[in-house]
C-alpha cells in the first residue's frame, strides 16, 4: 500500500519533516517514491512553516494512497489557508 507520511530530517532539537509518498512497508527515512512538500514546526520569521504540492497529493490519493493522521491535518490546514 502507498502511504503519504512525514519523514524526519534536521538536527537534534531542530525538527524538519519532508512529506513523502512511499510504500508503507518501507521504514521511515528509507526510499521514497516522491517528495510532495515539507513541514517546519520551528520556522523562524520569514520562513514558511508548511509547503505542500496539493496537485500531486490529490494525484496520489486518486491512485489509492492513504494519508497518515498528521498529514491529513496538515493538508486540511494548508487547504484552509489557500482559500483564505
83 vs 49 pLDDT, higher one: 49
* Cβ-contact 15, 42 below 8 angstroms: yes
pLDDT classification of 61: cutoffs 50, 70, 90: very high
Nearest to 20 by CA among 1, 11, 33: 33
Q: What are the pLDDT digits (tens) for 3-51?
A: 999 999 989 999 999 999 999 888 887 889 999 999 999 988 899 999 9
Res 29: pLDDT: 78
- pLDDT > 80? residue 59: yes
Amino acid at each position: 500500500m502507498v502511504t503519504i507520511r512525514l519523514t524526519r530530517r534536521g538536527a537534534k532539537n531542530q525538527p524538519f519533516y519532508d512529506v513523502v509518498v512511499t510504500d508503507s512497508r518501507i521504514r521511515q527515512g528509507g526510499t521514497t517514491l516522491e517528495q510532495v512538500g515539507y513541514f517546519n514546526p520551528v520556522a523562524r520569521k520569514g520562513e514558511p512553516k508548511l509547503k505542500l504540492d496539493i496537485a500531486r497529493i490529490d494525484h496520489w490519493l486518486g491512485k489509492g494512497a492513504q494519508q497518515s493522521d498528521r498529514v491529513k491535518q496538515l493538508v486540511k490546514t494548508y487547504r484552509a489557508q489557500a482559500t483564505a
